C-alpha cells in the first residue's frame, strides 16, 4: 500500500487565507498521535479562490480539499487519513470523479507553472525529480548558437509585457564582445493586480535559476542578478535557499556540468519600491544604486547595460519557460499558440470573478473562455462589463470584444496591452471613469519625473478626471483628455509615460456614454462616484436609531428617536457617511 | 503605490539626536565600505536598524562611506520603501491594487481614517498605528485586504476593519 501523503499549499495567498495555521494543526496532530502519514509543503497551485488548500494522496488517488481551516483539517485527518473515508463535502478536485472546479484546471496548459503546487519549493530534489536542471545538463552537448537558435525557434517572446522575441534579445547580447556580461532577471513585479512572478518565485524558484543559467551560457555571461521586490519576503527567502542548493549541487559556480570555462553565479538585489524600475534602463540604474530613472535608448542594454557591460534582461516568467523549451525542444513549445504568439501565458484573474487565481493558457484562447470557462463567470448574476488587461499601461476591453484572442497582436489592436498578464474583471457595478482615474492616480504617483509630459501631464489628466467624477465636468473635458493623452504618449522617454494614458484612451473609446453621463447628466450609472449620488432614507427599514443623524457632518438629517429620518437634499454634501454607518440598510443610493 | 508620508504631528515621538545610537551603523559601514552600487542596500540596512532613516544617519553614512549627501537623500526620497520619520508600532497596510479597488478598498481606508483620526500615511498620536495605502499585496482573491504585521485580513468591510483595530488597541492598552 502506498503511504498516504498530506500536502499543504503555503504560498503567500494561502498563508494570507490561513494555511499556516492549518499546517501547524496537522503537524501537531501528527506528532501528538504519532501518525505515520507523510506531511509536505508546496506552494500555490493557482486556485487562490479556494485557499487554503490541502491535498491528500492515498492508494486510491489524489484529493484536493479547499477552504480548509484547522477544524476541517482535523476532520480530514481523522476521517480520510486514518479511516480511508474521504470527506466529500470539502473536495474541490479529485482524479476519481468530476467536480465543478475541474474546469478551472482542465482548460490550462502548464509550462511556466509546471511545478507550482506540485513540489516543495525548498527542496531541490523535488525539482530534479520532475526533470529539473535537465536543460542545464543538456548544455554540454550544445553550442551557444544552438541554444539561441532553439529559443528563437520556440517563438518565446518577453512575458514582462513588451513581447520582444527572447532569442533575438539573447543574440544581440551574444554578438557584443566583452569579458564581462550580465544576465538580469526582472522580478520587480509592480502591476497592481498581477502576481504570477511572485507565485513562480515562491512555488518554483529553481526553474527561474535554471533559465538564467541557460541564458548565461548562451550569451556568455558569468554573473546573474535577480532584481526582486522587497515586498515579496517569501519569494526572497525561497530564492536564497534555492541559490544555496544550486551552488551545493554544482549547477552554479565554476565549470558547470563539466563545461570548461563556463562559470555562473547569481545574486539577489532587493528593489526598494518604485514601479518605474520595471523599465529596463531604470532597473539598471537601480541595481547600480541610483535613483531608478530611465535613460535614452540606444545604446540598448545588450550593448551597454549594467556597469556599461552587455546585459540581457528578461522577466521571471520568460526565464521559467526556458528550461522546458531546452528540455522538450522548440517545436513542442511552438505547438501551442498562434502564428506570431507561441506557447502559453500566465494570467492573474481577479476582480469580479468567481474563480480568481492564476491560470496558464495557450495563446490564442479568447478572453471570454478565460473568464467564463476557467474563471467560472461573474458572481451574483451581475452583468460582465469589461476586462482590464495589462495593468496601468493597459486598457479596458469591453464585453462586446470579449471574443478577442489572447495574443500580443490582437490585444494591442484593442488599445490594451498584454502586459505582464493581470486580468481584472469588472461587472456592471464598476464605474469605468473611476477605473481610469484609479490607474492614472497610480501612474501619476509612480512617474519618475524625468519627462515633463509624464510628470505634469498625468497630473493634469487626473485633475480633469477628478472634476468629472465630482460632477464638475465640462463638455470639452473629453477632448482635452484625449489631446493630453497623445501628447504624453509622444513626449515620454520610457514605457511608463508612453502607456500611462492607455486606460483613459480605451475607456473614452469604449465607454464614451459613461463619460457623457458623468459630464452632462451629472450621474454615475454604476453608482460608484459618491459626489454624483443622492442618498435617501428607505422608510420601511429605518428604525429611528439616530446613528445617521449623529454622524452627518453637516446636520442634513432630521428625525426624532424611534421615528423615520429624512435627508435634506439641499444640505447634503454626499459624503456617504450615513450609508456606511447605517446598520439597517435603510439608506438608498440613486 | 507611492505614499506621500507627512511627518507625524505627534509631540510624543521625539526624533531627537540623543535617541539615535549611531554606533549601531558600524557593522553596516564595515560591510559596504569601498564597494560600488551600495546606496540602496545601505539605506535598507539602516532602516532595518532604526525603523526609519534619521537625519543623523544620513550624515554619518555620507561621511564614512564617501557618498554624497544629496545622492543618499535623493535615493531615499525616490523609493517608496524609505521612511524619513518614525512610524507607529503597527503599520496598517490597506491594499489598493486593482482587484481591491474594484471591490471598494476606498471605504476601508476611509473607515480607518475616521476611526484613527489620521490621514493616509500618518501615525496616530499614541504611536500605535501608522496607516498606509499600498499597491497589490497579492491576495487578490481575498479582496479587499489589509495587512497588519504578518497578519492578513481579507474580504473586509469598513466596520470589520475598524473592529480589528479596536481589538489591537485594546491589547496594547492592557
The reported pLDDT for the residue numbered B17 is: 45
In a domain, A146, yes or no: yes
Question: Do A504 and A491 meet the contact criterion of CB atoms below 8 Å apart?
Answer: no
Phi first, then psi: what are they for A5, rounded to 5°? -120, 135
CATH of the domain at A133: 3.40.50.11540
Eight-state DSSP code of residue A457 = I
Q: Cα A234 vs. chain centroid, distance in angstroms?
A: 16
Eight-state DSSP code of residue B13 = S
Within 8 A of B133 by CB-CB distance, chain A residues are none
Q: Cα A561 vs. chain centroid, distance in angstroms?
A: 50
Partner-chain contact A438 B101, CB within 8 Å: yes
My answer on whether A203 and A284 are in the same domain is yes
A264 three-state secondary structure:
strand
Question: Do A173 and A221 meet the contact criterion of CB atoms below 8 Å apart?
Answer: yes
Partner-chain contact A289 B158, CB within 8 Å: no
Within 8 A of B103 by CB-CB distance, chain A residues are 351-352
Question: Do A353 and B98 meet the contact criterion of CB atoms below 8 Å apart?
Answer: no
ipTM of the complex model: 0.83
| DSSP result, A215-247 | HHHHHT--EEEEEEETT-HHHHHHHHHHHHHHH
CATH of the domain at A562: 3.30.70.20
My answer on whether omega of the bond before B115 falls inside 30° of 0, hence cis, is no
Question: Do A22 and A69 meet the contact criterion of CB atoms below 8 Å apart?
Answer: yes
- Residue of chain B nearest A49, judged by CA positions: B141
Write the burial class of residue B34 (CB in 10 Å: 0-12 exposed, 13-18 middle, 19+ buried): exposed
Partner-chain contact A17 B103, CB within 8 Å: no
Within 8 A of A12 by CB-CB distance, chain B residues are 138-139
My answer on whether A195 and A81 are in the same domain is no
Q: How far apart are CA A123 and CA A204, in angstroms?
A: 10
- Would residue A273 be called left, alpha or beta, if left means φ above 0 and alpha means ψ between -120 and 50 degrees? left
What is the grid cell recorded at A417?
Answer: 496591452
Mean pLDDT of all residues in B119-133: 89
Phi first, then psi: what are they for B143, rounded to 5°? -55, 150
Domain boundary among A427, A449, A466: A427
Query: Nearest C-alpha of chain B: how many angstroms from A396?
Result: 12
Query: Nearest C-alpha of chain B: how many angstroms from A258?
Result: 32
- Which of B82, B111, B138 faces A272 most closely, judged by CB atoms? B82
Mutation site, A52, A279, A291, interface B, largest B CB count within 10 A: A291
My answer on whether A218 and A78 are in the same domain is no
My answer on whether A226 and A368 are in the same domain is no
Domain boundary among A301, A334, A367: A334
**Largest Cα–Cα distance in chain B?**
53
CATH of the domain at A54: 3.40.30.10
A222 three-state secondary structure:
coil
The reported pLDDT for the residue numbered A2 is: 66
My answer on whether A157 and A231 are in the same domain is yes
pLDDT band at B37 (very low <50, low <70, confident <90, very high): confident
Question: Do A208 and A319 meet the contact criterion of CB atoms below 8 Å apart?
Answer: yes
Place of cell 470523479: A97
**Residue of A353, A573, A500, A528 whose CA lies nearest to A434:** A528
My answer on whether A131 and A267 are in the same domain is yes
My answer on whether A374 and A419 are in the same domain is yes
Partner-chain contact B141 A287, CB within 8 Å: no
CATH of the domain at A490: 1.20.1440.230
For the stretch B6-24, pLDDT in tens is 444 444 444 544 478 898 9
Rg of the Cα atoms in chain B: 18
Eight-state DSSP code of residue A494 = S
My answer on whether A214 and A269 are in the same domain is yes
My answer on whether A188 and A298 are in the same domain is yes
In a domain, A236, yes or no: yes
The reported pLDDT for the residue numbered A419 is: 86
**Residue of A213, A223, A226 whose CA lies nearest to A259:** A213
The domain of A423 spans 344-427
Write out residues in chain A with pLDDT < 50, as ranges: none
Question: Do A266 and A212 meet the contact criterion of CB atoms below 8 Å apart?
Answer: yes
What is the grid cell recorded at A431?
Answer: 464605474
Beta bridge partners of A94: A63
What is the grid cell recorded at A449?
Answer: 519625473
Within 8 A of B107 by CB-CB distance, chain A residues are 580
For helices A502-510 and A477-491, angle between their N-to-C axes, nearest 10 degrees: 140
Q: Cα B134 vs. chain centroid, distance in angstroms?
A: 10
For the stretch B61-78, pLDDT in tens is 999 999 999 999 999 999
In a domain, A119, yes or no: no
Sheet holding A395-398, edge to edge: A357-362, A344-351, A422-427, A384-389, A395-398
Domain boundary among A58, A76, A106: A106
**Residue of A489, A493, A409, A487 whose CA lies nearest to A449:** A493
- Would residue A258 be called left, alpha or beta, if left means φ above 0 and alpha means ψ between -120 and 50 degrees? left
My answer on whether A143 and A220 are in the same domain is yes
Q: How far apart are CA A39 and CA A42, in angstroms?
A: 10
Query: Nearest C-alpha of chain A: how many angstroms from B162?
Result: 12
In a domain, A216, yes or no: yes
My answer on whether A417 and A440 are in the same domain is no
A182 three-state secondary structure:
strand
My answer on whether A379 and A437 are in the same domain is no
Rg of the Cα atoms in chain A: 27
In a domain, A391, yes or no: yes
- Which of B98, B147, B158 faces A193 most closely, judged by CB atoms? B98
In a domain, A524, yes or no: no
The reported pLDDT for the residue numbered A146 is: 96
Count of structural domains within chain A:
5
Partner-chain contact A191 B136, CB within 8 Å: yes
Mutation site, A10, A15, A16, interface B, largest B CB count within 10 A: A16
For the stretch A560-569, pLDDT in tens is 888 899 999 8
**Residue of A464, A15, A88, A471 whose CA lies nearest to A238:** A15
Within 8 A of B142 by CB-CB distance, chain A residues are 13, 16-17, 48, 51
The reported pLDDT for the residue numbered B9 is: 46
Query: Nearest C-alpha of chain A: how many angstroms from B99?
Result: 5
In a domain, A115, yes or no: no
pLDDT band at B100 (very low <50, low <70, confident <90, very high): confident
Q: How far apart are CA A65 and CA A68, in angstroms?
A: 7
pLDDT band at B125 (very low <50, low <70, confident <90, very high): confident
Sheet holding A54-57, edge to edge: A38-42, A5-9, A54-57, A62-65, A91-94
A537 three-state secondary structure:
strand
Which residues fall within 8 angstroms of residue A357, CB to CB, at 6 or more apart?
A: A46, A47, A48, A49, A104, A348, A349, B141
Q: Does B111 touch chain A (CB under 8 A)?
A: yes
What do you get for the CA distance between the two ends of chain B, in Å? 34
Within 8 A of A194 by CB-CB distance, chain B residues are 136
- Residue of chain B nearest A189, judged by CA positions: B136
Query: Nearest C-alpha of chain B: how many angstroms from A187?
Result: 14
In a domain, A175, yes or no: yes
CA A16 to each of CA A11, A121, A193, A332, B140: distance values in angstroms, whole numbers, following the listed order: 8, 18, 16, 37, 11
Partner-chain contact A48 B140, CB within 8 Å: yes
Partner-chain contact A13 B111, CB within 8 Å: no
| DSSP result, A96-150 | SS--TTHHHHHT---STTTTTTTS-TT-HHHHHHTTTTHHHHHGGGS-HHHHHHH
Q: Does B39 touch chain A (CB under 8 A)?
A: yes
My answer on whether omega of the bond before B144 falls inside 30° of 0, hence cis, is yes
CATH of the domain at A385: 3.10.20.600
Partner-chain contact A448 B78, CB within 8 Å: yes
Amino acid at each position: 500500500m502506498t503511504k498516504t501523503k498530506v500536502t499543504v499549499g503555503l504560498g503567500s495567498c494561502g498563508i494570507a487565507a490561513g494555511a499556516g495555521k492549518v499546517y501547524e494543526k496537522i503537524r501537531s496532530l501528527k506528532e501528538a498521535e504519532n501518525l505515520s502519514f507523510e506531511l509536505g509543503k508546496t506552494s500555490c497551485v493557482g486556485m487562490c479562490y479556494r485557499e487554503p488548500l490541502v491535498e491528500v494522496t492515498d492508494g486510491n488517488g489524489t484529493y484536493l480539499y479547499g477552504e480548509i481551516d484547522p477544524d476541517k483539517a482535523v476532520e480530514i485527518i481523522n476521517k480520510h487519513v486514518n479511516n480511508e473515508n474521504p470527506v466529500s463535502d470539502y473536495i474541490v478536485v479529485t482524479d476519481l470523479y468530476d467536480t465543478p472546479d475541474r474546469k478551472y484546471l482542465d482548460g490550462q496548459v502548464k509550462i511556466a507553472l509546471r511545478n507550482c503546487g506540485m513540489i516543495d519549493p525548498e527542496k531541490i530534489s523535488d525539482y530534479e525529480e520532475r526533470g529539473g536542471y535537465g536543460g542545464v545538463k543538456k548544455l554540454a552537448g550544445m553550442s551557444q548558437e544552438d541554444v539561441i537558435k532553439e529559443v528563437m525557434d520556440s517563438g518565446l517572446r518577453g512575458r514582462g509585457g513588451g513581447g520582444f522575441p527572447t532569442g533575438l534579445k539573447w543574440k544581440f547580447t551574444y554578438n557584443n564582445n566583452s569579458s564581462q556580461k550580465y544576465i538580469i532577471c526582472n522580478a520587480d513585479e509592480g502591476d497592481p493586480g498581477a502576481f504570477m512572478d511572485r507565485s513562480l518565485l515562491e512555488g518554483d524558484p529553481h526553474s527561474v535559476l535554471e533559465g538564467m543559467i541557460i541564458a548565461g551560457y548562451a550569451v556568455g555571461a558569468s554573473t546573474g542578478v535577480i532584481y526582486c521586490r522587497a515586498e515579496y519576503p517569501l519569494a526572497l527567502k525561497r530564492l536564497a535557499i534555492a541559490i544555496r542548493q544550486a551552488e551545493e549541487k554544482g549547477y552554479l559556480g565554476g565549470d558547470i556540468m563539466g563545461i570548461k570555462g563556463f562559470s555562473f553565479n547569481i545574486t539577489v538585489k532587493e528593489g526598494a519600491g518604485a514601479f518605474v524600475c520595471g523599465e529596463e534602463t531604470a532597473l539598471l540604474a537601480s541595481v547600480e544604486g541610483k535613483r531608478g530613472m530611465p535613460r535614452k535608448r540606444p545604446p540598448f542594454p545588450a550593448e551597454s547595460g549594467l556597469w556599461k557591460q552587455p546585459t540581457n534582461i528578461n522577466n521571471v516568467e520568460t526565464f521559467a519557460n526556458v528550461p522546458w523549451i531546452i528540455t522538450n525542444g522548440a517545436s513542442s513549445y511552438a505547438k501551442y499558440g498562434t502564428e506570431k504568439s507561441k506557447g502559453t501565458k500566465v494570467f492573474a484573474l481577479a476582480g469580479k470573478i468567481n474563480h480568481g487565481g492564476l491560470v496558464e493558457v495557450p495563446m490564442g484562447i479568447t478572453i471570454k473562455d478565460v473568464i467564463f470557462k476557467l474563471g467560472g463567470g461573474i458572481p451574483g448574476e451581475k452583468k460582465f462589463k469589461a476586462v482590464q488587461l495589462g495593468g496601468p499601461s493597459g486598457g479596458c476591453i469591453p464585453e462586446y470584444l470579449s471574443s478577442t484572442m489572447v495574443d500580443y497582436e490582437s490585444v494591442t489592436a484593442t488599445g490594451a496591452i498584454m502586459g505582464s498578464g493581470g486580468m481584472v474583471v469588472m461587472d456592471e457595478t464598476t464605474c469605468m471613469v473611476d477605473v481610469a482615474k484609479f490607474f492614472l492616480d497610480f501612474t501619476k504617483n509612480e512617474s519618475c519625473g524625468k519627462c515633463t509630459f509624464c510628470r505634469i501631464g498625468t497630473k493634469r489628466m487626473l485633475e480633469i478626471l477628478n472634476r468629472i467624477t465630482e460632477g464638475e465636468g465640462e463638455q470639452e473635458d473629453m477632448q482635452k483628455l484625449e489631446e493630453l493623452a497623445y501628447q504624453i504618449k509622444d513626449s515620454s522617454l520610457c514605457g511608463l509615460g508612453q502607456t500611462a494614458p492607455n486606460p483613459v484612451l480605451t475607456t473614452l473609446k469604449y465607454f464614451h456614454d459613461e463619460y457623457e453621463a458623468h459630464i452632462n447628466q451629472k450621474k454615475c450609472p454604476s453608482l460608484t462616484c459618491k459626489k454624483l449620488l443622492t442618498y435617501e432614507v428607505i422608510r420601511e427599514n429605518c428604525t429611528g436609531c439616530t446613528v445617521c443623524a449623529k454622524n452627518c457632518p453637516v446636520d442634513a438629517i432630521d428625525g426624532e428617536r424611534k421615528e423615520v429620518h429624512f435627508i435634506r437634499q439641499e444640505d447634503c454634501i454626499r459624503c456617504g457617511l450615513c450609508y456606511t454607518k447605517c446598520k439597517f440598510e435603510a439608506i438608498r443610493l440613486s | 503605490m507611492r505614499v506621500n508620508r507627512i511627518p507625524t504631528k505627534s509631540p510624543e515621538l521625539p526624533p531627537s539626536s540623543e535617541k539615535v545610537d549611531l554606533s549601531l551603523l558600524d557593522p553596516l559601514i564595515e560591510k559596504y565600505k569601498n564597494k560600488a552600487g551600495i546606496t540602496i542596500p545601505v539605506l535598507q540596512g539602516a532602516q532595518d536598524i532604526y525603523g526609519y532613516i534619521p537625519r543623523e544617519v544620513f550624515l554619518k553614512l555620507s561621511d564614512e562611506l564617501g557618498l554624497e549627501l544629496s545622492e543618499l537623500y535623493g535615493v531615499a526620497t525616490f523609493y517608496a520603501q524609505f521612511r524619513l520619520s518614525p512610524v507607529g508600532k503597527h503599520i496598517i497596510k490597506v491594499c489598493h491594487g486593482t482587484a481591491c479597488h474594484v471591490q471598494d478598498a476606498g471605504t476601508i481606508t476611509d473607515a480607518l481614517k475616521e476611526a484613527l483620526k489620521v490621514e493616509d500615511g500618518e501615525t496616530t498620536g499614541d504611536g500605535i498605528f501608522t496607516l498606509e495605502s499600498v499597491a497589490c499585496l497579492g491576495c487578490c482573491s481575498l479582496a479587499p485586504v489589509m495587512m497588519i504585521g504578518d497578519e492578513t485580513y481579507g474580504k473586509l468591510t469598513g466596520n470589520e476593519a475598524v473592529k480589528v483595530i479596536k481589538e489591537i488597541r485594546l491589547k496594547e492598552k492592557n
